[in-house]
């Protein structure tokens, strides 16, 4: 299938409606598939930066990776978080495209519009996820050579952070070997599943101090988390994933259904809660994959968007293979990648961690906990620094975040945000992206 390229009609209409015809023309877009392995087709969608003051060659390129595994950047990240249009196809004020070209890739294969021809082609570990992405990036930077000298950043959310770390390390090696030509400038790990055990072990204390567990609940959650710990220590990762799921059910029961993505909200839908004897993969996809595939988003992606894209094979449904993606990765899900973050830091890569204050599934306490395990020589220097407060861009005088940076590492504590930071605090997220990409 040939490359597709167009000017977004939706964006154009949106701009005409919102600002009148004197506004600049809508941004350029491109999308395509890359067959990253035999039978494994990966979909990407690029929005060229659309800024009034700079051309896209003078702005960075940001690749966005969604979580799950099985969540779609081209769908959720694009229309619910950082793309030029929201789910109602109205312009998003905090779109990242105003300050960067944004590349959404539906990975691992089977995610979003990506698809596999055969069940044996799904990725089963993060190493395969990384090598698949390297095939895509190599092709991308060859086909779009104009981006070879543009600073390239990888931003991620949730499980996307685990993939982003592994991909970044492979990318550094590929660039050193001359296999990929690009100006890799850094990786940003948002609410990232870097050390799953540290997340699970801090659920109890975090919920207890925020009035979401009583003493009995704290003991129950800690006991369940302790079982996860045993499995991880014995390297029984499939079992650890099953026990993680059980621990979530214990949290659910004791908190009357707290929302794992934002502790100030309750799981609105009884249907996502555990039912007796349910298969854990079915339960976990219901809990963590379905929320990224709401009915309205599915209708958009499988309706007007697939029609606009024009290259989606007839028998491929956006999100149709998401459950399989998650299920095939279940044996790798609870493995930490703290060592990979260490390698990135030692290699001199700019690494940023950012985390939402109200996120439970990847709570900030857990992030701080794995941070302390880094062997990186700069850690002592980082720990000696105090953080700096940042104003919320829309409410000067009100703190929107804290941040701290030392050598090639930075940490952003984003206030009043849960797991999906750009959805919850769009202006702050945009501001942070500009700071990380050295535009602010
Ligand atoms: C779509 O159809 C083709 C041709 O029949 C088949 O090879 C492929 O496996 C199908 N893909 C999916 C995702 O069902
Ligand atoms: C990493 O960030 C620093 C600023 O903190 C910057 O000077 C440096 O150029 C960045 N490195 C790369 C590879 O972009």
Phi, psi values for residue 408, rounded to 5°: -100, 25
Q: What top-level class would CATH report for the domain 29-193+333-437? A: alpha beta
Active-site residue (options: 41, 288, 293, 419)? 419
Share above pLDDT 70 across residues of the chain, in percent, rounded to a whole number:
92
Distance 117 CA to ligand 1 centre (A): 5
Distance 64 CA to ligand 2 centre (A): 20
pLDDT of residue 280: 80
Pairing mode of beta strands 351-356, 409-414: parallel
pLDDT tens digit sequence for 78-126: 999 999 999 999 999 999 999 999 999 999 999 999 999 999 999 999 9
Distances (CA, A) of 140 to 36, 74, 83, 135, 175: 12, 16, 20, 9, 14
What is the rounded average pLDDT for all residues in the chain? 92
pLDDT tens digit sequence for 8-18: 444 444 443 44
From the CB of residue 435, how many other CB atoms can be counted at a distance below 10 Å? Answer: 17
- pLDDT band of 273, cuts 50, 70, 90: low
Q: Where are the domains of the chain?
A: 29-193+333-437, 196-280
- pLDDT band of 269, cuts 50, 70, 90: low
Cα separation, 109 vs 154, in Å, equals 18
Q: Which atom of ligand 2 is nearest to the CA of 405?
A: 5
Q: Which atom of ligand 1 is nearest to the CA of 115?
A: 13
Distance 349 CA to ligand 2 centre (A): 8
Whole-prediction pTM? 0.92
- Among 117, 121, 320, which residue has the most ligand 1 atoms within 8 Å of its CB, making it the best to mutate? 117
């Amino acid at each position: 299938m040939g490359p597709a390229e167009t000017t977004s009609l939706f964006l154009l209409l949106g701009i005409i409606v919102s600002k009148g015809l004197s506004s600049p023309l809508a941004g350029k877009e491109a999308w395509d598939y890359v067959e990253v392995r035999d039978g494994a087709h990966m979909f990407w969608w690029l929005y060229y930066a659309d800024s009034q003051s700079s051309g896209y060659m003078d702005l960075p390129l940001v690749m966005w990776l969604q979580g799950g595994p099985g969540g779609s950047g081209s769908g959720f990240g694009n229309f619910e978080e950082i793309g030029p249009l929201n789910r109602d196809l109205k312009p998003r004020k905090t779109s990242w495209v105003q300050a960067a070209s944004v590349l959404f890739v539906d990975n691992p294969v089977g995610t979003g519009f990506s698809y596999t021809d055969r069940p044996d082609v799904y990725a089963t570990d993060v190493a395969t996820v990384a090598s698949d992405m390297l095939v895509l990036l190599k092709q991308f930077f060859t086909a779009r050579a104009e981006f070879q000298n543009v600073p390239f950043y990888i931003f991620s959310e949730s499980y996307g952070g685990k993939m982003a770390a592994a991909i970044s390390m492979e990318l550094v090696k590929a660039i050193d070997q001359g296999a990929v030509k690009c100006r890799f400038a850094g990786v940003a790990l948002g609410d990232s599943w870097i050390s799953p055990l540290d997340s699970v072990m801090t659920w109890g204390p975090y919920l207890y101090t925020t009035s979401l567990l009583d003493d009995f609940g704290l003991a129950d959650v800690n006991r369940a988390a302790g079982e996860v710990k045993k499995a991880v220590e014995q390297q029984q990762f499939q079992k650890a994933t099953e026990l993680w799921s059980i621990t979530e059910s214990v949290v659910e029961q004791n908190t009357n259904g707290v929302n794992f993505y934002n502790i100030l909200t309750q799981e609105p839908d009884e249907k996502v809660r555990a039912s007796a004897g349910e298969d854990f993969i079915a339960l976990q996809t219901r809990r963590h994959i379905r929320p990224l595939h709401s009915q309205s988003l599915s209708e958009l992606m499988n309706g007007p968007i697939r029609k606009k894209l024009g290259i989606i094979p007839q028998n491929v449904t956006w999100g149709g293979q998401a459950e399989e993606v998650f299920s095939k990765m279940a044996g790798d899900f609870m493995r930490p990648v703290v060592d990979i973050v260490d390698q990135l830091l030692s290699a001199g890569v700019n690494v940023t961690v950012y985390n939402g204050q109200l996120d439970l599934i990847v709570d900030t306490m857990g992030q701080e906990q794995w941070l302390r395990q880094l062997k990186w020589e700069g850690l002592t220097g980082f720990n000696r620094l105090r953080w700096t407060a940042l104003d919320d861009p829309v409410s000067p005088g009100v703190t929107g975040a804290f941040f701290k940076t030392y050598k090639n590492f930075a940490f952003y504590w984003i206030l009043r945000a849960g797991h999906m930071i750009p959805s919850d605090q769009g202006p702050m997220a945009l501001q942070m992206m500009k700071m990380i990409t050295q535009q602010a």
